[in-house]
């Protein structure tokens, strides 16, 4: 074999590894379901792209030819590149983080992957093999999913299947693609053994079951909608397929009947007891998740208005989330880095130009599927199935965001459509024709080595350092035989690589330093943890001064380590960056509560409460500050309208009542807890201590005796307490 043949076969071999990336889980790395797949994809793409450059340099026939798909991808990559470099945080836009591993670096890799696949998979046979490789991988993922369903492997999202993808939504869209790919292959197969069609059908059923048990509502509805659309297209345009029209009409009516039947029984016990069906039955405008989606989308619109043309850059949604935070979102998680709608995500990341360039990818696909003359390559059934696939994917993306696996599948189809465009419009061209223009054998003697050197540099910079960081960080989070000193050294090592993982390393470090303050370790080691955490978080804040997340992390750490005055400026800055987020006010007030400046804390918590009075925690901590400050009348005004009593099972109120020596209320709260857990020895002991503080020594002794009865191991200590109390002393 000559060099060009070796290069070609190596590139194609690398391409055929891509469909199996979803099987990768890297337990030795931080975010094992994300990092392993992404690093593998990047390494494969970098290798195949470098080899393709050399091959294309040597043989012009391997160079890309124009198609509107390639043009759309180029425009999309170009617009997002410009948006990222002009965005809020260029570094994060480029590198992302371990949790997502997206950013511009991934967009570039996807573009390179599409270019190489669309050029090198140059025959229908190669594309068929590639599709079947992906089907084999999906069968393995499905087998793992069924094993999860049968309780052979652990689930990671409650009762929802997630397989090797670690997220039910990611698995759902993976199944969505492959169900339609199987349908596409099934109806294109006109020869060969009949049992292969039965295999396609059987696997489709299995993957439908897997998709169902992911309980991902947007994707399942996308599948239903895409299937209905595909059936409708055949019914309308399939005059030459009379039998197929009848079959699709039956499918269409059957789906509608199933939908109607579900709506009729959605309030029955059968549906309510089903983990999957109950999620669909809960869909309504009043559902918390639905309301939260609408709130977040409204915040996204506000962010878009501020930067309408090129947006904020990728991975910068958190700036929008903090700046335009709606106080009603206290019901959801504290930090959103996505709008949970891919179209709003691109509107924020790339502005109007970014969204339009993203939509142009779909436009290019539909152009080549439905354009005049497309019948030469696609039958009506092919067109309908492809249209159904992207309609379902489009609907799915209204409620979820993309990930590497869905992007890989999407860009694989883009590459296929690029090849189709070349195949149908330029059949006279071939790779062989290009070989007539091949360069001399020594043409790549300089170019090839230069590319290989650059490849080695990129592999180390983009991947190896990141892998080392991810592995070291995970080790730092785990208990080490050498003790916490080793954990500290591992944090230092992880940071020394200087990668995009530093932000997450610093977040984990500052939490570890807070926990170290309570560990039974030397004061010197505690101090080392604290100094390193503080120094590194200051570096993070300097790198991202407008990110409220790091400001409040620092304030929380300083409060936890009793540096209350130092915490105040960071909390104030966090509030300035996110003025309607209650959590910022809670941390700000913590500093003043610990300084015993209760009136200042009361004013801060009043503001937090008034942002959304339905937030129970905000009401309780506001009342707590009032109690600490001696304003019991204010506490009554806050608590009585909501609870009808001042006796509420709340740690905040319990601490405030105890600190202000309102022992009667403290005793009442412990009694309230004992109603639900009468055999809890710790509750009885705490109640006994409260009685002792209130001067009720006989009742205190009685409670301690109950503790001894419930926990005989406490006998010696309990009897000591009883003797001391009876002697008139407080133990």
Q: What is the pLDDT of residues 443-495, one digit of tens each?
A: 557 898 999 999 999 999 999 999 999 999 999 999 999 999 999 999 999 99
Given this model, what pLDDT does residue 81 score?
A: 98
The predicted pLDDT at position 154 comes to 85
- With respect to residue 203, please indicate whether it lies within any of the assigned structural domains: yes
The yes-or-no verdict on residue 152 having pLDDT over 90 is: no
Q: What's the pLDDT at 443?
A: 53
Model pLDDT, residue 432:
43
172 in any annotated domain: yes
The pLDDT value given to residue 143: 96
Residue 175 lies in domain: 3-435
Predicted local confidence at residue 573, as pLDDT: 97
Helix ranges (H only) for 615-662 are 616-628, 632-643, 651-659
Q: Is residue 200 part of a domain?
A: yes
- With 60 as the cut, is the pLDDT of residue 440 above it? no
Q: Which long-range contacts (CB under 8 A, 24 or more apart) does 547-550 make?
A: 547/89, 547/318, 547/319, 547/322, 547/577, 548/322, 548/573, 548/574, 548/577, 548/578, 548/581, 548/584, 549/318, 549/322, 549/335
For residues 125-138, give the mean pLDDT.
Answer: 96
Per the prediction, the chain carries an average pLDDT of: 91
- How much is the CA Rg of the chain, to the nearest whole Å? 31
pLDDT in tens, 690-717: 999 999 999 999 999 999 999 999 999 9
Q: Determine contact, residues 534/557, Cβ cutoff 8 Å.
A: yes
User: Is the pLDDT score of 266 beyond 50?
Assistant: yes
pLDDT of residue 479: 93
pLDDT confidence of 630, banded at 50, 70, 90?
very high
Angle 3-17/103-120 helices, nearest 10 degrees?
Answer: 120
Check whether 677 has a pLDDT greater than 80. yes
pLDDT tens sequence across 641-666: 999 999 999 999 999 999 999 999 99
| pLDDT of 338 strictly over 80 | yes
Total domains in the fold of the chain: 1
Whole-number percent of the chain with pLDDT over 90 = 77
- Per-residue confidence band for 430, with pLDDT thresholds at 50, 70 and 90: very low
pLDDT for the residue numbered 256: 86
Domain assignment of residue 11, yes or no: yes
Structural domain contains residue 122: yes
The answer to whether position 572 is within a domain reads no
CA distance to 111, 315, 446, per residue, from 345 (Å): 19, 9, 43
**pLDDT, average across residues 136-155:** 93
Report which of 414, 326, 323, 499 is spatially closest to residue 115, judged by C-alpha positions.
414
Q: Residue 584 pLDDT > 50, yes or no? A: yes
For position 192, what pLDDT does the model report?
A: 66
What single-letter DSSP state applies at residue 165? G
Predicted pLDDT at 428? 40
In a domain, 231, yes or no: yes
- In DSSP notation, 569-615 reads HHHHHHHHHSTT-HHHHHHHHHHHHHTT-HHHHHHHHHHHHHH-TT-
What whole-number percentage of the chain has pLDDT above 70?
Answer: 96
- Cα-based distances in Å from 609 to 94, 181, 650: 38, 52, 17
**Among the ranges given (192-206, 269-283, 586-600, 626-640), the one the predictor scored with the smallest mean pLDDT:** 269-283
Whether 47 maps to a domain, the answer reads: yes
Q: Is 149 a residue whose pLDDT tops 80? A: yes
Can you give the pLDDT at residue 531? 95
pLDDT at 535: 97
Give the mean model confidence (pLDDT) for residues 168-190.
92
Query: Per-residue pLDDT for 289 more than 60?
Result: yes
pLDDT exceeds cutoff 60 at 87 = yes
Q: What is the pLDDT of residue 251?
A: 81
The H-assigned helical ranges of 340-403 are 342-370, 380-396
């Amino acid at each position: 074999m000559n060099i060009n043949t070796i290069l070609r076969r190596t590139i194609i071999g690398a391409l055929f590894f891509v469909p199996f990336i979803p099987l990768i889980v890297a337990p030795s790395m931080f975010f094992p379901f994300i990092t392993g797949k992404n690093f593998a994809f990047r390494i494969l793409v970098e290798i195949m792209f470098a080899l393709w450059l050399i091959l294309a340099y040597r043989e012009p026939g391997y160079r890309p030819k124009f198609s509107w798909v390639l043009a759309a991808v180029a425009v999309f990559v170009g617009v997002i590149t410009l948006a990222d470099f002009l965005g809020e945080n260029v570094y994060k836009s480029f590198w992302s983080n371990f949790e997502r591993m997206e950013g511009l670096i991934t967009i570039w890799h996807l573009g390179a992957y599409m270019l190489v696949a669309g050029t090198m998979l140059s025959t229908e046979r190669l594309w068929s093999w590639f599709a079947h490789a992906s089907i084999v991988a999906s069968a393995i993922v499905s087998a793992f999913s069924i094993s999860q369903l049968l309780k052979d492997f652990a689930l990671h999202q409650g009762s929802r299947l997630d397989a090797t993808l670690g997220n039910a939504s990611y698995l759902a869209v993976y199944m969505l693609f492959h169900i339609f790919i199987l349908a596409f292959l099934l109806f294109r197969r006109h020869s060969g053994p009949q049992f292969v069609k039965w295999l396609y059908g059987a696997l489709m059923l299995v993957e439908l079951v897997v998709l169902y048990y992911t309980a991902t509502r947007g994707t399942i509805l996308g599948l239903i909608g895409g299937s209905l659309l595909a059936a409708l297209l055949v019914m309308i345009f399939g005059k030459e397929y009379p039998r197929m029209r009848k079959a699709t009409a039956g499918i269409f009516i059957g789906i509608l009947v199933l939908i109607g039947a579900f709506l009729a029984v959605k309030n029955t016990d059968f549906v309510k007891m089903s983990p999957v069906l109950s999620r669909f039955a809960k869909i309504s405008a009043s559902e918390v998740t639905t309301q939260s989606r609408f709130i977040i989308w409204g915040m996204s619109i506000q962010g878009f208005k501020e930067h309408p043309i090129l947006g904020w850059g990728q991975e910068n949604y958190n700036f929008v989330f903090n700046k335009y935070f709606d106080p009603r979102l206290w019901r959801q998680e504290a930090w959103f880095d996505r709008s949970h709608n891919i179209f709003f995500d691109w509107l924020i990341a790339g502005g109007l130009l970014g969204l339009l360039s993203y939509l142009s990818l779909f436009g290019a696909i539909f152009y080549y599927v439905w354009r005049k003359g497309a019948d030469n390559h696609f039958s009506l059934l092919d067109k309908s199935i492809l249209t159904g696939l992207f309609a379902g994917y489009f609907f799915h993306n209204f409620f979820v965001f993309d990930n590497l696996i869905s992007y890989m599948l999407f860009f694989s189809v883009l590459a296929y459509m690029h090849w189709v465009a070349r195949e149908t419009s330029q059949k006279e061209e071939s790779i062989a024709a290009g070989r007539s223009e091949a360069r001399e054998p020594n043409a790549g003697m300089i170019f090839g080595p230069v590319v290989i050197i650059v490849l080695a540099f990129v592999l180390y910079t983009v991947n190896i350092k990141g892998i080392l960081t991810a592995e070291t960080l995970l080790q730092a989070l785990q208990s080490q035989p050498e003790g916490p000193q080793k954990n500290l050294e591992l944090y230092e090592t992880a940071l020394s690589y200087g990668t995009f993982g530093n932000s997450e390393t610093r977040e984990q470090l500052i939490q570890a330093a807070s926990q170290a303050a309570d560990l039974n370790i030397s004061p010197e080691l505690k101090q080392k943890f604290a100094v390193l955490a503080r120094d590194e978080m200051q570096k993070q804040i300097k790198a991202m001064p407008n990110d409220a997340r790091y400001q409040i992390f620092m304030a929380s750490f300083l409060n936890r380590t009793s540096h209350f005055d130092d915490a105040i400026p960071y909390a104030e800055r966090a509030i300035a960056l996110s003025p309607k987020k209650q959590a910022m006010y809670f941390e700000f007030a913590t500093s003043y509560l610990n300084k015993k400046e209760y009136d200042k804390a009361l004013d801060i918590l009043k503001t937090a409460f008034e942002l959304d009075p339905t937030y129970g925690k905000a009401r309780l901590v506001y009342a707590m500050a009032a109690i600490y400050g001696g304003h019991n009348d204010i506490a009554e005004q806050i608590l009585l309208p909501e609870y009808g009593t001042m006796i509420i099972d709340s740690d905040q109120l319990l601490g405030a009542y105890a600190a202000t020596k309102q022992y009667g209320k403290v005793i009442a709260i412990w009694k309230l807890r004992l109603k639900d857990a009468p055999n809890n020895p710790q509750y009885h002991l705490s109640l006994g201590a409260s009685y002792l503080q209130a001067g009720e020594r006989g009742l205190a002794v009685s409670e301690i005796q109950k503790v001894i009865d419930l926990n005989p191991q406490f006998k010696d200590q309990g009897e000591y307490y009883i003797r001391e109390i009876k002697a008139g002393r407080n133990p």
